Chains A and B, each alone.
Chain A
Amino acid sequence: MTSLIAENLTYSYSKHSNPVLEEVSVALTPGTLTALVGPNGAGKSTLLNLLQGHSKPDKGKITINGKPLFNNRTQVSLMPQRGKLNWNFPITVEGLVSLGRVNHSKLSCCELEAALQRVGISHLAKRRLDSLSGGQQQRALLAKTLMSPAKILLLDEPCSALDPPAREGFLLIIRQLADAGLSLFISSHDWGSSLNSYDKVVALDKTVLANGSPQEVQTKLDSIDCMRGSYCCG
């Protein structure tokens, strides 16, 4: 069982700029589906980058099972935003998924098949990536993320650009992954009824505004009048 705890994280992109994150604390526990919501520029992607170990916080610490993240980076895997990938690159679904292996170590066909089956696209293994729909591409990207040995998955806006049925299908898959014991932290702009699909919600806008069950967070945010307009996009 792998837990991640981040305490009092503060981060700014340069010494002279204002911090994009201030005193942010979150805890990710096994088998939990946690949503990270906030408006554009709230620092969601920055926080995910810190939790993955891609960037170092100016202040605060991140530990996995009590040990510093730096020594346990393989325990965390990040699925990037759609826009970060070159979708026209000449590669098949299985080619993409096999890149998920840390240091590109050899991959058996059973492992590949298992990852594709978990996200329900094993029939698309030989298809070129740019011939898939947006939802299928996101599933392929999730399968790539699953190839790492990580028990904590950070998903950066995986449902953006997906239509409601594809989004529902995707949420179903990540629920199954959480039920299997993985810890998932998913950033989203979606502050609507779909948040009820998550076990926990963290509302972020440079600092943590609310943290708890979907109902608790919604109640707390409703009491912060100025935030309502920013979040109501679902």
Chain B
Amino acid sequence: MSLINTIWWIIPLLITIFTGILCPAMGTVLITHKRLLQVNLISHCVLPGLALAMALGVDPSIGGVTSGLLGALAAESLANKKNENYEAVMNTILAGSIGLGVLLIPLLGIRIDLEAVLFGDLLTANIGDLLRTIFALSTFIFLIIFTYNKIVHIGLDPEGAVANGIKVDFLNLALGFTTALVIVSSMSAVGVILVIALLSTPTLLGLQKAPALWIAMARSSSFGLVISLLGFFLAIILNLSPGPLISVLCIASLVFLKNVK
């Protein structure tokens, strides 16, 4: 029992490390593909799925990934139609999804710690959260290893990629699915809302003068790891919530970026 009491921090620490590496690497791909707004949509679409899954007695992460994926499909369809107002439509779906999630919680009579879902509760993370994070990390690594050149081609020259026979729609969908996985797996660490900060800020640092996408990803992950670990240990020392603290550190690193520039 005393052993459990002394190593309680191992699972949260491992989740911090994996999330700190995974989110910025994923963010690098998404930012270079100009898809960050779609990530925002996916992250907000997760909540209704979580609520429904809990009401049905299914693993909440399955519901979260499913509704996140539906959000990804909606985003993909909107982006493909090239409607000039698609950003406004996307934001409407985004706001509607989070509203639907909040409404479903009392309507279905379930109990969800909304604060933990939105802003994370890393210090109470369990082995299930850790396994979800490892699964998301493995899926991302698998995607990168087998489709790296195609991802680079799509990010640089989407129409040329289509002409070169690359299944761009399929790969974009795979990216959307992996993004939904990453967001749901990062819930315990930083929450669905604050995950956006971890997807964006380290990437801005890592992209500076990087000569290749994989180098930008490696640099972003290094910055993300430092920010996450710093947030984790400061949260323990100061007895604060790690998610918001990591997000505040992201803003601080933006100031650092401005000075470096």
Contact = CB atoms under 8 A, between A and B. Distances in A.
Contact of B155 (A53, A89, A102, A126): A89
Nearest to A52: B163
Interface of B: 32, 34, 149-150, 152-153, 155-160, 162-165, 207, 209-213, 215-216
A66 interface: no
Given A78-B163, A86-B157, A91 B213 contact: yes
Interface in A74-114: 78, 80, 84-86, 89-92, 95-96, 99, 102-104
A86 B162 CA distance: 15
Contacts of B34: 86
B214 to A, nearest CB: 9
A99 B153 contact: yes
Contact of A126 (B165, B209, B211, B213): B211
A96 B153 CA distance: 8
A86 B155 contact: yes
Where chain B touches its partner, the secondary structure class is helix
B212 A92 contact: yes
A85 B157 contact: yes
A99 B156 contact: yes
Contacts of B149: 99, 104
A59 interface: no
Contact of B153 (A80, A84, A104): A104
Nearest to B33: A86
Interface in A183-207: none
A78 B157 CA distance: 12
A90 B210 contact: yes
A84 B212 contact: no
A89 B165 contact: no
A220 interface: no
Contacts of B211: 90-92, 95, 126, 128
Contact of B213 (A54, A80, A90): A90
Nearest to B219: A90
A95 B152 contact: yes
A54 B162 contact: yes
Contact of B216 (A86, A90, A99, A104): A90
Given A86-B34, A90-B211, A95-B152, A102 B164 contact: yes
Contact of A86 (B32, B150, B163): B32
